[in-house]
Amino acid sequence: MVVSKRVFWVSWGVVVFLFAINASIFQNKIRKINIKIAPYINRNVVSSGHAEFIANEMFHKYAQEKVDILKEGVAPPSVAVLDYVLKCMEYNKFLKNATFEFVSISLPDYQIVHRQNWEKEKNLLRQKYDLCGDMPCPEVFYFHHGLRFASKRIRDYVRHKDIIDCGAFIGDSFLVLREYTDKVVYCYEFSRKNVEKFSKVMKTNSVASGYRLIPMALGEDVHRIRYHEPDAATSGMVLIEGRGNDLADMTTIVAEVEKYGAKVGFIKMDVEGYGLPVIKGAINTIKSQRPVLSLGVYHNHDELFRIKPLLQKHLKNYVYEFHLQAFDDGDFNEMILFCYPKEVEDAGQNSMFRRH
């Protein structure tokens, strides 16, 4: 059989072209996985974004060891949540994507039931609350930052105490949290745009009391910070100190509790990755007043892997639970660490984990 040079080079060109396409797709998949995994890699171990690191056994072992530490002292439902988190993170998803296999990681069964209930409720919530253009989200308006499905003993424990809302955004959390206390909700939000919209949301919903809006950032110590203010109110406002030309005051929960004489029963925190410094600046208040905690720990390595061990080091007789609060398969955005003193523990299982 005789093959002309033209046919040979055309055929070879097709092979090279297809290889280039596959290589491009492959690199795009690497890039997407890097973006998903990078926040959970300790920067002291490896700089974020290295596909070679993510794709090999080293990351799987690293993530497994970290998650195993989080499992210490938690009940089986929270262990199942952490197993799900590990599946979302572990490197073998990379290998399956590299061979173009379909990858599916399903939410726990109870969370699927919650998702169905959320679909039934969300339109009614849009009618009940006017967020001035923002949409109600399930972690706030369905799960109530963990309080909706907490035991009556936990809710009663919070009822006659103050609440601290760290990362108050536009006041959406306050609209829900005010129903759990007959005292004050202290709302901390440092973004000027968010503070402006907070006031607008309160006015639109005819709310004039029950809260104290404090336009400050929370952290490990008291100082002035420099940051970049976005053009519009956003729930994804990440505090990166030293970047930008906008200024704000930073304080600590300990300092604020002393200033206002607050008796704290509940702390909600969702601060876009700045959670560890906030908890360090709150630890003495948590030790002395023993509030219930709802802590967003899904943003980065320090939140996910360091906050629970820090609390366990300083606190005696606390219960730790991990709750999923979003509904996308294969994702653990909005996951919280829900903690409460053992003296208010209910013998029954948290209804968060039941099929309703």
**pLDDT tens digits for 58-76?**
667 788 899 999 999 999 9
**Is it the case that residue 265 has pLDDT exceeding 90?**
yes
Residue percentage of the chain with pLDDT more than 70:
72
**Is it the case that residue 350 has pLDDT exceeding 70?**
no
Which amino acid belongs to residue 173? S
Read off the pLDDT band of 229 (50, 70, 90).
confident
Domains of the chain are 5-98 (no CATH), 129-353 (3.40.50.150)
Structure-token match 């209930």, residue found = 117
* Mean of pLDDT values over 24-34: 51
**Is it the case that residue 189 has pLDDT exceeding 80?**
yes
Q: Cα–Cα distance between 88 and 328 in angstroms, integer?
A: 11
Read off the pLDDT band of 267 (50, 70, 90).
very high
Q: 157 φ, ψ to 5°? A: -65, -35
Chain-wide mean pLDDT for the chain? 83
Range scoring the smallest mean pLDDT among 16-20, 205-209, 246-250, 342-346: 16-20
**Is it the case that residue 348 has pLDDT exceeding 50?**
yes
Taking the model in full, what pTM does it have? 0.83
Contact 270, 296 (CB under 8 A): yes
* Res 347: pLDDT: 54
* Res 18: pLDDT: 45
Q: Which residues 6+ apart lie within 8 Å of 179 measured at CB?
A: none
**Is it the case that residue 239 has pLDDT exceeding 70?**
no
pLDDT in tens, 99-134: 445 556 788 888 999 999 999 999 999 999 999 999
Show the tokens assigned to 268.
């909600």
Which amino acid belongs to residue 138? P
SS (H, E, C) 109-135: HHHHHHHHHHHHHHHHHHHHCCCCCCC
pLDDT in tens, 275-312: 999 999 999 999 999 999 999 999 888 999 999 999 99
